[in-house]
Structure 1
Amino acid sequence: MRSESYDVVVLGTGPAGLQAAIHAARAKVSVLVMGRDVKSSLYRAHLENYCCLEKVTGQEFLQQGIRQASDAGARFLHEDVIRSIGEDDGFTIETESGRTIRTRSLIMAMGISRNRLGVPGEKEFLGKGVSYCVDCDAGFYKGVPVAIVGNASAAVSGALTLVFYASEVHLICGNLEVAKKLENQVRASDIKLHENRAVKEIYGNAAVEAVRLDDGSRIGVAGVFIETGAKGAVELAAALGVELDSEQYKYILTDDDQHTNIPGIFAAGDITGPPWQVAKAVGEGCVAGLAAAKHAKKYR
């Protein structure tokens, strides 16, 4: 398995992540940025309320940020993270292709998940069988059948985790869009793969009992995990013990230096809460990048 080491790893290629990478790299530490800019919520949008810039497309804005970060010395890896592990002197990150990456400082800037299925029963059974976090809730489904919905790394890696808990795991997806290693793992497992299918309804009485697919078929399950993108900040944060807001359990709490409750982990951008503005994301990214670089230098 390939292993690499960096002083700072930035998760996310949106405005917060790119600004963090620029400032960390200019602080003369090694920086790796992970993610895909096309998955940023800004990529297909336009920007017209950012100080000193005329109206530009989100794609143009992000590509310029990538060039600036690269020129400053940051490296880019266009892969999703499937697992993060805290250690005494840093963190280990595992990617979808099987790479292992070590870092002293970790910056979470992946934004927040806005992906919902929008099907009947999804809202009604939230917390009663519907979950958006395998790492958070897998333990509640020991010995019962579950479904997981999505075709990217979060769903596939989540399904591979659920086989250790659930009696039966159904992966409901379109075309799989993951690294070959992950695809091979899921096809070689006991996971029941429903390709080119979509969930049309989640139903039950007091809790989830089944899902109905677009071909009319019914699958009896006690839980439905909705993981429609890359593994998000909440899932990775939960695995590392990062403190989230107590009301909605969806935002990472930070101090004035964008430091979380875990030494060496920083957060910036939408994942720290509203307002959902590029100006806020860039400002927090700047602070997080400088603070993360300072933390990493302690180990030199």
Structure 2
Amino acid sequence: MSGSTCDVVVLGAGAAGLSGATALARSRRSVVVVDGGDPRNAVSGHAHNVLGREGIGPLDLLAQGRREAQGYGVRFVEDRAVLARRDEWGFVLELLGGATVRARRLLLATGLTDELPDVPGLRRFWGRSVLHCAYCHGWEVRGQRIGVLGTRPASLHQALVFRQLSEDVTVFVQDLEVPAGTAEQFDVLGVRLLPGTVRGVSGEDGNLRVDLDGTQIGVQALVVTPYHRARAELFAQLGGELATNPVGEFVPTQQAGATEVPGVWAAGNVTDLGAMVQGSSAAGVLAGMRINHDLVLEDVAKLLAAR
């Protein structure tokens, strides 16, 4: 692979990266996908709201997507890109294993990292009984005793959404001011507010114990609001600047995933912190289409210049 060249390097083999790679390969572009093998949703047992594949295991879905991409000639490199720079042809990527790959265009589909609140025990249950998305996991905990760890303003919105799924919702209000209007909403819905500091979470899946200042409170699921941090080191190396919102940082994009860095597109959670599997997949296809169109224009321009 050392010194390999291609039309497009796709960084990341999640839903966005695989969909973008497949769209590009179907347009007869040479595509290399570089992936370190740590998808964000690997800890989840199922992927939901996936049309035609509802409830499929996330790793099963990615394995099928990889086989489909390979069927169109996409090459995969099990490695991690650590350095990116421009050259006269496009981009040069140096991989952790020592190889280099050159490409005319880049598609960033590297996803994000979920930084959980600093509470002992949360990571142990992450993706199973410690949840963050009602639309990803809500049906599975319907009717259960649900706790919400209130560490960010978005936690209050989560409480309202999860109340649609269960009549037993408790918000552990920790370092968070609850506006009067929200408190009134909670009151009419029967959502309990418990102030204090959550010292830890223990127990077993489906039967958690929340330590609220020494008092053990049982819940079956605990909702948290992570801070979402885009995996965007290479974007920064190429001169790009990240944007932020109250729940995370991301690569800002324009139409169809174009970034401020010429020749670089982004799709999936690296640019849309709330994108689910289907949304990431669609964004990958759109980015792939735009990249191909950009290459078509460049190819035509070269032919005209050489005429």
Return the TM-score normalized by structure 2. Answer: 0.57
- Alignment-mate amino acid for residue 80 of structure 2: D
CA shift for structure 1 position 79 = 0.2
CA shift for structure 1 position 239 = 0.8
Deviation track 1:184-222 (CA, whole Å, cap 9, x = no partner) reads: xxxxxxxxxxxxxxxxxxxxxxxxxxxxxxxxxxxxxxx
CA distance in 2, matches of 1:78, 1:63: 14
8 Å CA contact 2:81, 2:96 repeated in 1: yes
| 1:233 equivalent among 223, 231, 234 | 231
CA distance in 2, matches of 1:295, 1:267: 14
- Flag the 1:299–1:89 CA change in 2: closer, same or farther, 3 A: farther
Look up the match of 2:285: 286
CA shift for structure 1 position 289 = 1.2
- Alignment-mate amino acid for residue 17 of structure 1: G
Look up the match of 2:14: 14
Look up the match of 1:250: 249
- In structure 2, the residue corresponding to 1:23 is in which secondary structure? helix
CA shift for structure 1 position 252 = 0.7
- In structure 1, the residue corresponding to 2:110 is in which secondary structure? coil
CA shift for structure 1 position 296 = 3.0
CA distance in 2, matches of 1:6, 1:71: 17
- Alignment-mate amino acid for residue 272 of structure 1: T
Look up the match of 1:269: 268
Look up the match of 1:59: 59
Deviation track 1:216-242 (CA, whole Å, cap 9, x = no partner) reads: xxxxxxxxxxxxxxxx73211111112
8 Å CA contact 2:258, 2:265 repeated in 1: yes
- Alignment-mate amino acid for residue 263 of structure 2: G
- Flag the 1:56–1:119 CA change in 2: closer, same or farther, 3 A: closer
8 Å CA contact 1:3, 1:99 repeated in 2: yes
- Flag the 1:98–1:115 CA change in 2: closer, same or farther, 3 A: farther
CA distance in 2, matches of 1:13, 1:59: 11
CA shift for structure 1 position 278 = 0.7
CA shift for structure 1 position 275 = 1.7
- Flag the 1:77–1:115 CA change in 2: closer, same or farther, 3 A: farther
Look up the match of 1:41: 40
Look up the match of 1:195: none
Deviation track 1:56-105 (CA, whole Å, cap 9, x = no partner) reads: 10111000000011001100000001101123441110001111111011
Instruction: Quote the sequence identity (%).
Output: 31
CA distance in 2, matches of 1:298, 1:95: 29
Deviation track 1:241-291 (CA, whole Å, cap 9, x = no partner) reads: 123215577211111121101111000000112323111101110011111
CA distance in 2, matches of 1:117, 1:101: 37
CA shift for structure 1 position 116 = 6.5
CA distance in 1, matches of 2:78, 2:292: 22
**TM alignment of 1:1-300, pairs within 5 A:** 2-37=2-37, 39-45=38-44, 46-114=46-114, 118=118, 233-247=231-245, 250-300=249-299
CA distance in 1, matches of 2:116, 2:50: 29
Look up the match of 1:182: none
- Flag the 1:116–1:55 CA change in 2: closer, same or farther, 3 A: closer
- In structure 2, the residue corresponding to 1:56 is in which secondary structure? coil
- The structure that has the greater radius of gyration is 2
- In structure 2, the residue corresponding to 1:47 is in which secondary structure? coil
8 Å CA contact 1:24, 1:290 repeated in 2: yes
Deviation track 1:114-168 (CA, whole Å, cap 9, x = no partner) reads: 2569489xxxxxxxxxxxxxxxxxxxxxxxxxxxxxxxxxxxxxxxxxxxxxxxx
Which blocks of at least 5 consecutive residues in structure 1 are unaligned?
Answer: 121-231
Deviation track 1:19-70 (CA, whole Å, cap 9, x = no partner) reads: 0111011011100001034x10123321121122232101110000000110
- Alignment-mate amino acid for residue 236 of structure 2: A
Look up the match of 2:226: none
8 Å CA contact 1:44, 1:57 repeated in 2: no
CA distance in 2, matches of 1:2, 1:21: 20
Which blocks of at least 5 consecutive residues in structure 2 are unaligned?
Answer: 121-229, 300-307
Alignment size in residue pairs: 189
- Flag the 1:88–1:118 CA change in 2: closer, same or farther, 3 A: farther
CA distance in 1, matches of 2:117, 2:105: 34
- In structure 1, the residue corresponding to 2:85 is in which secondary structure? strand
- Alignment-mate amino acid for residue 73 of structure 1: G
8 Å CA contact 1:242, 1:262 repeated in 2: yes
- In structure 2, the residue corresponding to 1:43 is in which secondary structure? helix
